[in-house]
Copies of this chain bind each other. A is one copy, B any other.
Amino acid sequence: MSQSLFAALQALVGARHVQSSEEAAPYLTDKQGRYVGQVIAAVHPASTEEVAAVVRACVATDTPVVVQGGNTGLMGGATPDASGRAVLLLLDRMNRVRAVDTDNDTLTVEAGCILQTVQEVARAAGRLFPLSLGAEGSCTLGGNLGTNAGGTAVLRYGNTRELTLGLEVVTAQGEIWNGLRGLRKDNTGYDLRDLFIGSEGTLGIITAATLKLFPLPKAQATALLAFDSLEQAVALLSHARAGFGASLTAFELLSAGCLALLREQFPDGPRPFSNAHQPWFALLELSDNHSESHAREVFEQVLGEAFEQHLLADALIAENLVQSQAFWRLRENMSDAQKRAGRNIKHDISVPISQVAAFVAHTDALLQQHFPGVRHYTFGHLGDGNLHYNVAHPLGSTVDAHMAHYTALSQLVHDSAHAHGGSISAEHGIGQRKVNVLGRYKSAVELDLMRRIKQALDPRNLLNPGKVLEDTRP
């Protein structure tokens, strides 16, 4: 049967756009090499109609369909299982820009577009598409939508969800829903758009989207701030929100341990505050619609007030673009710095901003009690209450010995985030990696609602089975 499906798929999209499991090997291992899958075929359709036809062919043969974007996810959400029963759907040929509407400030693009391309198309039209994250050079808009991607601009512009006005989706029945509306207000029925966004390919296949555009800022100002405590950083954030309003476009936290790690791993990199004794630092960015001088004036006024009110210990204000880029490089290098230092146990948690300091104090103490000597690399998007709370091996111990504690250590961290009113996955999703622990943190009522929706839209459980919700089929 799998041979006849392979031939049927070739007939639908053209023989050279269907690959065998061997040919598709690069798509069948996730970014971190944690999961390896097998498939009947990997298919590269060129249009929404072809996607629908592929899904119908899979439905007819009871074949699971897994959709994948740039394969940059961290939860294994786009990797098929090892059974070899599934078809992998790749939308790389669906990368057209369908419409740019500057009066409506919208952009309609296909799901296979690389995020950076979407940013560039917006910029060429004199507009900003603000979604920005580490993988932007290779992740696709479809993946961003499927996981409701976050990134560094959420504080001002929201997650992918808040940046999306309309969707085009192929349903689990292989039908096409055209919901590509460029409307700011539309109250005519249930919010299907937001149900598909973040559903990780388990409820439908997103093939295109109508996105919001924003004015390009005329100037930006950046500072690196030092704090005596995390409580002080939270108070400064509150002050900055009031003073800058929507001009506050980034507030990225770095612990002293992170700065030390950066100096260690990038000896030729920037070394701000290298003799400082403060425990916490933050990168603050203001975006201004007027001018460089206006940005600077507002910036110095609000930071001046903050000094007077003892809301920060020290500040370095970038004098030019080069200095600003150096500050941002610190934040951007955190991922590579950790890689160079060896594996650690990563968490992508969020808590209410008012709970951040208590969460960190409580969890740090708990881990030192259970795993003495572990080292904390805590950083992230304080403006969203989203911390990358990463834990490295104790000095004098080995990475492998530390990684053996993965499950127990992570459970402590997740339990603590949950106890502080937080989430165990702020921006990375559930995929297959966290699917088993979801039941620990979601109520039975919520899981039941989720299962009802899955059953309603994909009753045969063919769309990305085993992701987000456990695959309970025999």
**Contact A104 to B457, CB < 8 A, known contacts A177-B446, A449-B192:** no
- B residues within 8 A CB of A155? 184
Contact with B along A141-161 (1 / 0, CB 8 A): 000000110100011101101
- The prevalent SS among residues of A at the interface is mixed
**Cα A182 to Cα B238 with chains together (Å):** 16
Contact of A422 among B183, B426, B427 (CB under 8 A): B183
Q: Can you list 30 A-B pairs with a CB-CB distance of less than 8 A?
A: A102-B354, A104-B354, A106-B352, A156-B246, A158-B162, A171-B445, A175-B445, A177-B445, A177-B449, A182-B352, A182-B421, A183-B426, A184-B386, A185-B384, A186-B423, A187-B428, A188-B430, A189-B468, A190-B198, A190-B449, A191-B194, A195-B195, A214-B245, A215-B241, A243-B290, A244-B289, A245-B287, A246-B246, A452-B457, A453-B456
Query: Bound state CA distance, A445 and B55, in angstroms?
Result: 15
* Contact A425 B350, beta carbon cutoff 8 Å: no
Chain B, residue nearest A210 (CB)? B352
Give A371 Cβ to nearest chain B Cβ, in Å. 25
Binds B, one of A112-120, A271-279, A436-444: A436-444
Instruction: Give residues of chain A (163-222) contacting chain B, Cβ–Cβ below 8 Å.
Output: 171, 175-179, 181-192, 194-195, 197-199, 203, 214-217
Is there contact, CB below 8 Å, between A446 and B192?
yes
The answer, yes or no, to whether A316 is at the interface (CB within 8 Å) is no
**Which residues of chain A (394-447) have a CB below 8 Å from chain B?**
421-430, 434, 438, 441-443, 445-446
Instruction: Tell me if A381 and B185 are in contact (CB < 8 A).
Output: yes
Is the CB of A314 closer than 8 A to any CB of chain B?
Answer: no
A455 at the interface (CB under 8 A from B): yes
**Complex interface: chain B residues within 8 A of A186 (CB):** 350, 423, 425-426
Q: Say whether A190 contacts B426, CB under 8 Å.
A: no
- Of the candidates A161, A199, A244, A449, the one having the most CB atoms from chain B within 10 angstroms of its own CB is A449
Residues of B within 8 A of A194 (CB): 161, 191, 194-195
Closest to A194 in B: B194
Task: Tell me whether A353 and B103 are in contact in the complex, defined as CB-CB below 8 angstroms, given that A195-B195, A468-B189 are known contacts.
Answer: yes
Which B residue sits closest to A383, measured CB to CB?
B184
Q: A365 interface residue, CB < 8 Å from B? A: no
Shortest CB–CB separation between residue A169 and chain B, in angstroms? 9
A234 lies within 8 A of chain B by Cβ? yes
What is the copy number of this chain in the assembly?
2
| Chain B CB within 8 A of A101 CB | yes
Contact (Cβ within 8 A) B190 A468: yes
The smallest C-beta distance from A103 to any residue of chain B, in angstroms, reads: 4
Give the residues in chain B near A185, CB-CB below 8 Å. Answer: 150, 154, 159, 350, 381, 384-386, 423, 426-427
- Which B residues touch A352, using CB under 8 A? 101, 103-104, 106, 182-183
Contacts of A244 in B (CB 8 A): 289
B179, B189, B354: the one within 8 Å of A103 (CB): B354
Measured CB to CB, the closest approach of chain B to A281, in angstroms, equals 19
Chain B positions within 8 Å of A182 at CB level: 352, 421
The reply to whether A385 and B183 form a contact with Cβ atoms under 8 Å apart is yes
Task: Tell me if A351 is interfacial: C-beta within 8 Å of chain B.
Answer: yes
Whether A171 lies near B449 (C-beta < 8 A) is yes
Q: Check if A49 is an interface residue, CB within 8 A of chain B.
A: no
CB-based contact A161/B234 at 8 Å = no
Known: A191-B161, A453-B456. A242 touches B289 (CB 8 A): yes
Question: Does the CB pair A187–B457 fall under 8 Å?
Answer: no
Give the residue of B183, B242, B290, B453 whose beta carbon is less than 8 angstroms from that of A453. Answer: B453
**Min distance, Cβ A297 to any Cβ of chain B, angstroms:** 9
Chain B residues contacting A197 (CB-CB under 8 Å) are 191
Knowing A187-B429, A190-B468, A381-B185 touch, does A289 contact B243 (C-beta < 8 A)? yes
Chain B residues whose CB sits within 8 angstroms of the CB of A383 once the complex forms: 184
Cβ distance A194 to chain B, nearest Cβ, rounded Å: 4
Within 8 A of B (CB), among A328-342: none
Is the beta-carbon distance between A183 and B298 smaller than 8 angstroms? no
